[in-house]
Amino acid sequence: MSSPAPRSNPLRLGVNIDHVATVRNARGGTAPDPIRAAREAVAAGADGITAHLREDRRHIRDADMETLAHVLTVPLNFEMAATDEMIDMAIRLRPHAACLVPEKREERTTEGGLDIVGAHDSLLSRVKRLGQAGIRVSLFVEPDEAVMDAARRLGAPVVELHTGSYCEAVAEGDAARTAHELGRIARAASYGAGIGLEIHAGHGLALDSVGPVAALPEIAELNIGHALIGEAIFVGLGQAIRDMRGAMDTARA
């Protein structure tokens, strides 16, 4: 059997396993095990694993993050608020990457991107500490050209563009808003890559919305969680990941 041709601008899939931990925590026991999910995701083709250790530990817990940092054979993306507690933990665990996100206690999921323009001064030393520890810093931000400039000023090598508004527009069947939101992502990706940033994207992506984002040539990585874990209930985690990977590859080709 011939092996697939190498892709000239590969698109990585980072699988977010937070909601495996959400289900585990609903019963207070040990199953389903997010570490097992991470291993299955890697076996199914995930290029990396993302886990978000929230301040309230509502899904991923400290012990999960410690184990992931030690056992994973693919890059770990440690998603976190830009607090001293989290930065200290990341520096101790040395994940491949740290994705800094805004975090509000009452929100259901991460709402909106990080205000890196307003919070420049407080973020600067934190981005620097992580970078000096050899951790690739990614800033989860709104798709906007001025925000790309702000990320560069902070010295972050990577931005993750928030795709939530685009995915909401797709879900609502609002074609005009979908085109508008996709245009924002495309412009920010193109501008950001042009000034030397590595571009990731994520939040809310599902099989019916991933294609147009995956098709943007500047995007190097998509981080997807909820849709994959939800679909896993029906088709299994491995199949859900293979289906997503297939949709991404088709769009990129």
Pick from 64, 79, 142, 221 the residue near ligand PXP by CB under 6 A: 79
Cβ-Cβ contacts under 8 Å for 31 (sequence gap 6 or more):
24
Q: Which candidate in 52, 59, 162, 200 is catalytic?
A: 52
Residue 5 or 218: which CB sits closer to ligand PXP? 218
- At its nearest, how many Å lie between ligand PXP and the CB of residue 68? 15
Place of tokens 């400290």: 62
CB 16 within 8 A of CB 53: no
| Length reported for the chain | 253
Considering only 2-10, 40-48, 174-182, 222-230, which stretch makes contact with ligand PXP by CB under 6 A? Answer: 222-230
Residue 3 or 244: which CB sits closer to ligand PXP? 244
Site track for ligand PXP across 10-49, x = CB under 6 A: ------x-x-------------------------------
CB 188 within 8 A of CB 161: yes
54 binds ligand PXP (CB under 6 A): no
Does residue 203 carry a catalytic annotation?
yes
Does residue 59 carry a catalytic annotation?
no
Residue among 7, 3, 11, 35 at smallest CA distance from 21? 35
Residue 16 or 218: which CB sits closer to ligand PXP? 16
CB 157 within 8 A of CB 193: no
Pick from 193, 223, 231, 248 the residue near ligand PXP by CB under 6 A: 223
Q: What secondary structure does DSSP assign to 69-100, as a single string?
A: HHH-SS-EEEEEES-HHHHHHHHHH--SEEEE
Bond from prior residue into 32 cis (ω within 30 degrees of 0):
yes
DSSP state of 106: T
Question: Which CA distances in Å does 250 have to 43, 182, 187, 212?
Answer: 20, 18, 22, 10
Which amino acid is residue 182, in one-letter code?
A: L
Does residue 52 carry a catalytic annotation?
yes
- At its nearest, how many Å lie between ligand PXP and the CB of residue 166? 12
* Contacts to ligand PXP from residues 177-216, by CB under 6 A: 202-205
Site track for ligand PXP across 133-172, x = CB under 6 A: -------x-------------------x------------
Q: Which candidate in 19, 40, 59, 79 is catalytic?
A: 79
Q: By CB under 6 A, name the binding residues for ligand PXP.
A: 16, 18, 52, 79, 99, 101, 109-110, 140, 160, 202-205, 223-227
